[in-house]
Chains A and B, each alone.
Chain A
């Protein structure tokens, strides 16, 4: 890496990652505003993150975000785990997207690199059901412990259809509304 430090933008960082992990990197994409994302296979995610964190010419030491995305029926593989890392010396963000297929919902935890990944991995597990291998305390975090289902999956309904089990107070209000509908004066 014979470049000057100042020249290391997100694009160069993505190339550096590709030259070290050629078999893992699937795609490098550039979006508006100079945003660069690298799509990678999930198998060596920890080694790749370690490389981004430790390599003296990169120094992506700040983990901004971990999140999941569900591309149900739109993209294969279905899930992606997003890592947004920031390099303080280069003032550059880089997005690393690890592909997680539906039949193997697990990825290595990066907690040994960033302790701050702890809760964000738990949240991703809570919302998508993606398991993080070697995470010391993988529990639900925002939802109650006995919650069923993973809310941010695309096949999870926004609103439950409770039918008869709906709260009676709500049904009363709906009945009242139906009864008084004929007096509606605001209808345009």
Chain B
């Protein structure tokens, strides 16, 4: 006797990560699968949460900068410059022209280094092993230059509030110039390896399409947004440091897919190279650090020296009333880091410590977009999507 049971389709739940090599760190994606197709994707983050925002509230302004390089450890200088820029705006510190150019130069160097990490990881995820080896070889040149510049290779606490830690020397500039001479050829080398690779094209073209409206609505930034054809680049929209004194273009995509975002980043390599060369050529003379800027010995107490003015007044009541209300000032300052828009929202109560530091990190928002991008795609495309949004979990979890 045969008992016929009703046939049902059961979704298979797969936990991808947090120890999966293709999730770029400790990212866990809980995938519900119908065969090979993803029905639902739930990212799970927080494995690398160190409470940087809470820690920053208990450190002085210069000391809290060391936390920001631990956000996106692939592009530390860019985070630190963004932090310094915000604090300078808040505290009203002037930056010498030379320091602005040096910062722009280092930010672009780190953009190249970060994009190299992205390219090699993305390629190795999709199955192109060779480009990883070539790209990482060339990243070493940048890291060596950073070592020459400030002694650190990855977490270079190089910018300072009001400038940069130490001036550049001629040897470094010569080395960097040599690098920019040969780097365009190296980019062509990477492109030779994958740009006409049939597997690469099949796995990237037409995959992970995000329309411009969707991308804006989700809050995507950086090359992910520009791959969808939106000309949103803070270096152009609200130029900071020396970006208004150098010429560069913002590469845009047309087809909004993984391939176009790859093309955007490859173009950004060339633009960054161009910016570095202009910075070296136009580097003005002068100081690299404002001598009046708050140094590392900044005290956590009130910055204004206890307001000596109101004391001699006879009744003194109006003056003291002004002092009573804690004068909260705030600022939102955004910079374009390799992964997108990095924004710092600061609230200051007039002391040497941030009252509140809120960091808007691109990776956090890009991972939150994954739960919408990954629906209806194949498992293999999930890997391509993780690669294309270019995430760093240190930045996401803070």
Contact = CB atoms under 8 A, between A and B. Distances in A.
A118 B369 CA distance: 9
A39 B253 CA distance: 38
Interface stretch (A88-96, A162-170, A173-181): A88-96
Contacts of B230: 88
B96 to A, nearest CB: 19
A84 B397 contact: no
Interface string B87-130: 00110100000000000000000000000000000000000000
Nearest to B236: A91
Contacts of B92: 32
B51 interface: yes
B332 A158 contact: no
Interface residues of B, number: 45
B217 A31 contact: no
A91 to B, nearest CB: 5
A81 B220 CA distance: 21
Chain A to chain B: the 5 pairs with minimum beta-carbon distance, closest first = A116-B219, A67-B358, A119-B368, A65-B360, A142-B46
Most chain A C-beta atoms within 10 Å of own C-beta, residue among B46, B341, B369: B46
Contacts of A117: 219
Question: From DSSP, what is the main secondary structure of chain B's interface residues?
Answer: mixed
Question: From DSSP, what is the main secondary structure of chain A's interface residues?
Answer: mixed
A114 B364 CA distance: 15
Contact of B360 (A64, A88, A158): A64
Contacts, number: 106
A116 B368 contact: yes
B398 A142 contact: yes
A65 B54 contact: no
B331 A115 contact: no
A114 B217 contact: yes
A84 B365 CA distance: 14
A82 interface: yes
A184 B55 CA distance: 30
A169 to B, nearest CB: 20
Contacts of A65: 332, 343, 345, 358, 360
B329 interface: yes
A156 B331 CA distance: 24
B326 interface: yes
B324 to A, nearest CB: 11
Interface of A: 31-33, 35, 37, 61-65, 67, 69-71, 74-75, 82, 84, 88, 91, 93, 95, 114-120, 123, 127, 140-144, 151-152, 156, 158
Given A32-B89, A152-B53, A118 B45 contact: no
B218 interface: yes
Contacts of A74: 326, 328, 349
Interface string B197-224: 0000000000000000000111110000
A61 B55 CA distance: 32
13 contacts: A31-B330, A31-B331, A32-B89, A63-B219, A64-B360, A65-B332, A67-B360, A75-B326, A82-B358, A91-B237, A116-B365, A141-B46, A158-B54
A84 B219 CA distance: 12
Contacts of A152: 53-54, 356
B347 interface: yes
A31 B45 CA distance: 35
Interface string B48-78: 0101011100100000000000000000000
A70 B328 CA distance: 12
